[in-house]
Amino acid sequence: MNTMRTILSLLVSAVAVGVFDHSAHAADPLLAQIKLTKRPSDNYYVLQVDAQGVHCSKNANGNPKTVIPLTQIENLQFRLPLGWEDAIELQRTKQYDKAAAAFAAIAKDYAAIAPYPDSPSALASYWAIDAFRRSGNYKEVDQERVRAMARNVSLSDKYKDEMDIFRSCALLGSQAWKELLLVVNDWEMPISTSGKIPPPLTPHFKPLPANLVAQLAFLRATANENLKNETPALVDYARVYTVDAGRENELTRLSMLGSLRLLQRHPEISFEYTVQKQAHAVAVLFNERFQDSLPKEFSPFLTPPVLPEPETKAAPAAPAATAAPAATASVPEKEKE
Last residue of a domain, one of 174, 209, 239: 174
User: Do 169 and 187 sit in the same domain of this protein?
Assistant: no
User: Do 188 and 161 sit in the same domain of this protein?
Assistant: no
Looking at residue 265, its pLDDT comes to 84
Check pLDDT > 80 for residue 92.
yes
How far apart CA 270 and CA 260 sit, in angstroms, is: 10
User: Do 97 and 115 sit in the same domain of this protein?
Assistant: yes
Q: Which range marks the domain in which residue 154 is found?
A: 2-174
| Rounded mean pLDDT, 130-154 | 93
Check pLDDT > 50 for residue 84.
yes
User: Do 140 and 206 sit in the same domain of this protein?
Assistant: no
Count: domains in the chain: 2
User: Do 154 and 212 sit in the same domain of this protein?
Assistant: no
Among the listed residues 284, 221, 300, the one whose alpha carbon sits nearest the alpha carbon of residue 255:
221
Identify whether 79 is part of a domain. Answer: yes
Check pLDDT > 70 for residue 271.
no
Q: What percent of the chain has pLDDT over 70?
A: 80
Looking at residue 26, its pLDDT comes to 57
Identify whether 211 is part of a domain. Answer: yes
Helix H, strand E, coil C: the string for the chain is CHHHHHHHHHHHHHHHHCHHHHCCCCCCCEEEEEEECCCCEEEEEEEEEECCEEEEECCCCCCCEEEECHHHEEEEEECCCCCHHHHHHHHHCCCHHHHHHHHHHHHHHCHHHCCCCCCHHHHHHHHHHHHHHHHCCHHHHHHHHHHHHHCCCCCCHHHHHHHHHHHHHHHHHHCCHHHHHHHHHHHECCCCCCCCCCCCCCCCECCCCHHHHHHHHHHHHHHHHHCCCHHHHHHHHHHHHHHCCCCCHHHHHHHHHHHHHHHHHCHHHHCCHHHHHHHHHHHHHHHHHCCCCCCHHHHHHHCCCCCCCCCCCCCCCCCCCCCCCCCCCCCCCCCCC
User: Do 226 and 268 sit in the same domain of this protein?
Assistant: yes
Check pLDDT > 80 for residue 279.
yes
Looking at residue 336, its pLDDT comes to 42
Contacts with 152 (C-beta within 8 Å, 6 or more apart), sequence order: 10, 11, 13, 14, 19, 114, 115
Question: Burial level of 225, CB count in 10 A (0-12/13-18/19+)?
Answer: buried
| Rounded mean pLDDT, 47-57 | 94
User: Do 77 and 29 sit in the same domain of this protein?
Assistant: yes
Among the listed residues 148, 152, 202, the one whose alpha carbon sits nearest the alpha carbon of residue 170:
148
Q: What is the pLDDT of residues 64-79, one digit of tens each?
A: 999 999 999 999 999 9
How far apart CA 69 and CA 52 sit, in angstroms, is: 6
Check pLDDT > 60 for residue 166.
yes
β-pair partners for 65: 57
Looking at residue 20, its pLDDT comes to 35
Looking at residue 205, its pLDDT comes to 93
Q: What is the pLDDT of residues 187-209, one digit of tens each?
A: 999 877 666 666 777 889 999 99
Q: What percent of the chain has pLDDT over 90?
A: 62
> Distance from CA of residue 100 to its chain's centroid?
17
Identify whether 334 is part of a domain. Answer: no
Check pLDDT > 90 for residue 10.
no
Identify whether 330 is part of a domain. Answer: no
| Rounded mean pLDDT, 272-280 | 84
How far apart CA 273 and CA 282 sit, in angstroms, is: 14
Check pLDDT > 70 for residue 216.
yes
Looking at residue 28, its pLDDT comes to 87
| Rounded mean pLDDT, 100-114 | 97
Identify whether 323 is part of a domain. Answer: no
User: Do 162 and 21 sit in the same domain of this protein?
Assistant: yes
Identify whether 314 is part of a domain. Answer: no
Identify whether 183 is part of a domain. Answer: yes
| Rounded mean pLDDT, 31-59 | 94
User: Do 69 and 51 sit in the same domain of this protein?
Assistant: yes
Identify whether 329 is part of a domain. Answer: no
User: Do 109 and 217 sit in the same domain of this protein?
Assistant: no
Looking at residue 332, its pLDDT comes to 43
> Which residue did the predictor score with more confidence, 201 or 139?
139
Looking at residue 110, its pLDDT comes to 96
| Rounded mean pLDDT, 222-244 | 93
User: Is residue 80 left, alpha or beta, with left meaning phi > 0 and alpha meaning psi from -120 to 50?
Assistant: beta
User: Do 148 and 183 sit in the same domain of this protein?
Assistant: no
User: Do 124 and 204 sit in the same domain of this protein?
Assistant: no
